[in-house]
Amino acid sequence: MTYTGITLALSKGRIFEETLPLLAAAGITPSESPESSRKLIIGTNRDDVRLIIVRASDVPTYVQYGAADLGIAGKDVLNEHGGNGLYQPLDLQIAKCRMMVAVREGYDYAGMVKQGARIRVATKYVNAARDHFASKGVHIDLIKLYGSMELAPLVGLSDVIVDLVSSGGTLKANGLVAVEHIGDISSRLVVNQAALKLKRNLIQPVIDAFASAVAGDVPA
Ligand code: ATP
Ligand code: MG
């Protein structure tokens, strides 16, 4: 608890991988990979910067409470969290995908919507789903899931799912089709507001380096 440097919260997998070039632009190199190491606190080449590895959906929580000074989280995750207490200075343009409504092949989604039928929606993204269908004036029953949403329409748990899609390969492999685009998703830098005030000398240069890397500036 006496760490005086800055702590950046990341999730394993695509966020960690796609953040490496941004870290490099800020002069930060992790000392090990979270994929091979089981450590949850990872040092870097700088003794004033460390990384913590948390579940993607937990990143905003660590930053909100100041357990991490900064973090990187998808817009999907931030939307579900609500963003309370988080400063979001940058869209990092990484981990890009689309939030979509998908159904089983052959399901007449447009027809059901037109009829004003009540639709069963299974998703991990309950806020996004609620907002989307409310804005269309469609009545839904929401079923909260934590993963593998593609299964739900196949076994009759739901009529539709709201899920993230990149190539569409997983939908296709399960006989599903995307029928509606809810929004584009990418990951954002999130910063604890109090930490920014107290440790601006350490945090601001990281924000600036990330910003120039995203803008495609050649590092000096
Ligand atoms: P967990 O696996 O811990 O349940 P998760 O599936 O949300 O959480 P990841 O798969 O690592 O975690 O996804 C992290 C972030 O990457 C998501 O919050 C989202 O913003 C983005 N993402 C999710 N799926 C894709 C995809 N297929 N392509 C690109 N980016 C994606
Ligand atoms: Mg995942």
Write the pLDDT tens digit of every residue in 131-165.
999 999 999 999 999 999 999 999 999 999 999 99
| Residue pair 22/40 in contact by the 8 Å Cβ criterion | no
* d(C-alpha 63, C-alpha 192), whole Å: 5
Element spanning 81, H or E: helix 75-81
The reported pLDDT for the residue numbered 161 is 98
User: How many whole angstroms from 12 Cα to the centroid of ligand 2?
Assistant: 10
What pLDDT does residue 1 have? 63
Task: Give residue 80's pLDDT.
Answer: 98
Q: Which phi and psi angles does 25 have, rounded to 5°?
A: -65, -25
pLDDT of residue 196: 98
Which residue, 127, 23, 29, 145, is CA-closest to 75? Answer: 127
- State the average pLDDT over residues 110-138: 97
Q: How confident is the model at residue 2 (pLDDT cuts 50, 70, 90)?
A: confident
Distance CA 40, CA 24 (A): 20
State the average pLDDT for the chain. Answer: 97
Q: Are 150 and 171 in contact (CB under 8 A)?
A: yes
Fold of 97-185: D-Maltodextrin-Binding Protein; domain 2 (3.40.190)
Q: Which atom of ligand 1 is nearest to the CA of 77?
A: 18
Instruction: Please name which ligand lies nearest the alpha carbon of 18.
Output: 1
Atom of ligand 1 nearest to the CA of 147: 4
H or E element in which residue 137 lies: none
pLDDT on residue 51: 98
Query: Is residue 111 classed exposed, middle or buried when 0-12, 13-18 and 19+ CB atoms within 10 A define those classes?
Result: exposed
Contact 216, 102 (CB under 8 A): no
42 C-alpha vs ligand 2 centroid, how far in Å? 21
As assigned by CATH, the class of the 6-95+186-215 domain is alpha beta
Mean pLDDT score, 79-84: 95
> What is the pTM assigned to this prediction?
0.95
Element (H, E) at 114: helix 109-115
Instruction: Indicate if the alpha-carbon torsion angle 22, 43, 65, 53 is positive or negative.
Output: positive
Q: Could you check whether 6-95+186-215 and 97-185 share the same CATH topology?
A: yes
Give mean pLDDT, residues 117-124. 98
Q: Comparing C-alpha atoms, which of 41, 30, 21 is closest to residue 209?
A: 21
pLDDT score recorded for residue 129 = 98
3-state secondary structure of 22: helix
Residue 33: what pLDDT?
A: 95
Pick the residue whose CA is nearest to atom 24 on ligand 1: 164
Alpha carbon of 164 to ligand 2 centroid (Å): 10
Q: What's the DSSP call for residue 218? A: P
- Residue with CA at minimum distance from ligand 1 atom 19: 74
| Amino acid code (one letter) for 124 | K
Tens of pLDDT, residues 34-64: 999 999 999 999 999 999 999 999 999 999 9
Q: What percent of the chain has pLDDT over 70?
A: 98
Enumerate the domain spans of the chain: 6-95+186-215, 97-185
